[in-house]
Amino acid sequence: MGLLPGSAPLSDREKGMSSEFIARAFDKSDHSSPARFIWSHIRRHPVVGLLMVFGAFSNAALASVVPYLIGQAFNVIIAGGGMKRVASLTLAIVGSQLGRGVLQFMRNFSSETFAQRIERDVRDELYASLLGKSMTFHDFQPVGEIMARVTNDVRELNLMMNPGLNLILGSGMFILLPLVVSPTIHPALILTPLLFLLAYVLIQYHYVSSLHRVAQEVRASFGRMNARLAETLDGIEVVKGTAQEKEEIRYFGGLVDRVRDRIVEQGDIEARYFAILLLGLATVGGFLHALILYRAGAINTGDIVAFMGQISLFGFPVFTSIFAFSRMASGYASAERILNIITARTDLDQNEGGYQAPMRGAVTFERVDFGYLDERQILHDVSFNIRPGQTIAVVGQTGSGKSTLAKLINRTYDVDAGRVLIDGVDVRDWNLAALRSQISIIEQEIFLFSRSIADNIRFGKPDATQEEIEEAARKAQAHEFIMSLPQGYETVIGQRGVTLSGGQRQRLAIARAFLTDPRILILDDSTSAIDSATEDRIQKAIWAAARGRTTILITHRLSQIRWADHIIVLRKGRVVAQGTHEELLNTSEAYRRIFARYEGPVTRPDAAQGERSPAQGLD
């Protein structure tokens, strides 16, 4: 079974074999830690990143120029200098700020571009990773929780970059510039900026550590809330049908309250932000220090103005870091949640170097055991052979493992023991794409996308022509009802095909299978929602499509069972009988019970006239 989010980190070899599908564009991502993951995405955009850093530095430098020039102007005025010098200093201030505005535009444009590109890359990587996870992984993951990570958590990474990282870079420059400029006024004046920097780093370390824990809880509680929402909306018909709206509202309200409580807790930490107190102390301490130096004759009035202007620059990092570090903490927590999905080990790999060849269609099960959970086996010691081009039927009671058996053929799941072979090659040794592209499964639960009918039919063959689509629809007895729709093949159907009847959905799924022309066709009770008249027409189409290919029918339809070349009877995950229809009627009590259940009493071929088998189901 696959490991779920939170599992141990993978080795290099395991990473290479951890996914059914791997997007090679993301090979350079570092998944060893959230920090390295973020950095690996940042370094993909060096030009934009450098522009952002340069913009942050120039913004702080030009902001630092203003108090320095104002101090110079004070000295000129106090000394009784001419207004020409003051005017030139004034023009220098105006020019510096015009330049600062242009550079700020470049910085903000670069940072937003930077953030949007990283959000795009991470979302693409996460989406590709989800497509690559095995069904074992998806079986245990709530869709709403996954959606929260793909949408909200990835968005948090965007906000972490801009305004988060953008403000931190900018505020960092505003802290460093006073350290550089103050000693040029007087060497002793470096004391206050240096003490401020040391205290600021300690305060921010404590602040970010506290925020990180709460940010993780905020993201986790939001994920649980989103999972419940998605589940309830998916099952809205059941909720309404059982009049459970009030109960669902009550439960969902509790989840919303938990999200609120975590966000309030985060706000409480932000409210106790000691850096604001530190700014006040730095302002008072710096002014007192400057006065002492002034009284000692070490500096003049203009120097005090210039120095206090430098200290005032600390106001920007103090007030923006409340928000910026909150964004960083949330983004880092989101990166951890995203990595938990990307690095979660799955139990299948795409096996790019595996066997590839046109299939003949021979299928062999050799003593196969399988269970979705280790402690609960579904199939036990299953063995049988299917010759190329043969049509077989798999029958048995509900829960006997019929559908599970079909999903082992195309490696939707891998066996726990034994082997499944196609054309004599273990399916685990096949190239996964080559294997699945030649097998088509039409399941009981038909899934259709919220797209046009034509797009749904051509899903397995995107380059199919309109003529090919219509021919497949005719074979599946779907063309007539499609043409009766307002826009024909361009009619957009609702999510999961809810605007169509069950029989119409199944006919579209059969058309999709016909279009891909698979070498192995598996129909998992695919005509269960079709009326008898339509079934007769589809039955002929199925037999026509079955010629020359291996066809596996999982069905309760007796008409289909009789037509099969070979029949396999499952009971509680074991093969209890197999053979032709006539052979099984002669030799298998379990098989006779199936016919007794669905068709009424059946005369034993070897029994005296009038003797009947009991009308019992396959129990």
Cα distances (angstroms) measured from residue 132 to each of 81, 257, 415: 75, 35, 19
Rounded Cα distance between 431 and 434, Å, is 5
Cα distances (angstroms) measured from residue 510 to each of 241, 455, 458, 522, 562: 31, 14, 12, 10, 21
Cis bond leading into 163, ω under 30°?
yes
β-bridge mates for residue 364, sequence order? 385, 421
Helix (H) or strand (E) holding 574: strand 574-579
In degrees, rounded to 5, the angle at the alpha carbon of residue 495 between the alpha carbons of residues 491 and 497 is 60
β-bridge mates for residue 420, sequence order? 365
Query: For 493-538, what is each residue's pLDDT tens digit?
Result: 876 566 787 778 888 888 888 888 889 999 887 666 566 666 666 6
Helix (H) or strand (E) holding 596: helix 589-599
Tokens of 95: 């020019």
Tokens of 147: 């959606």
Rounded Cα distance between 357 and 93, Å, is 74
H-type alpha helices, 235-314: 236-241, 245-271, 275-295, 301-312
Block mean pLDDT (10 aa), the chain, length 619 = 38 44 63 91 89 91 91 86 85 93 91 92 89 79 85 91 91 92 94 94 88 86 87 82 88 92 88 86 95 93 93 92 87 90 77 90 95 85 93 87 90 92 94 90 81 90 91 87 91 74 82 87 73 67 74 81 87 91 86 67 37 33
- The contacts of residue 442 (CB under 8 Å, 6+ apart) are 506, 509, 510, 512, 513, 521, 522, 523, 524, 526
Other CB atoms within 10 A of residue 155 CB = 17
Q: Which domains does the chain have, with CATH numbers?
A: 14-342 (1.20.1560.10), 354-438+518-619 (3.40.50.300), 447-516 (3.40.50.300)
| Selection from 425, 402, 431, 497 nearest residue 459 by Cα | 497
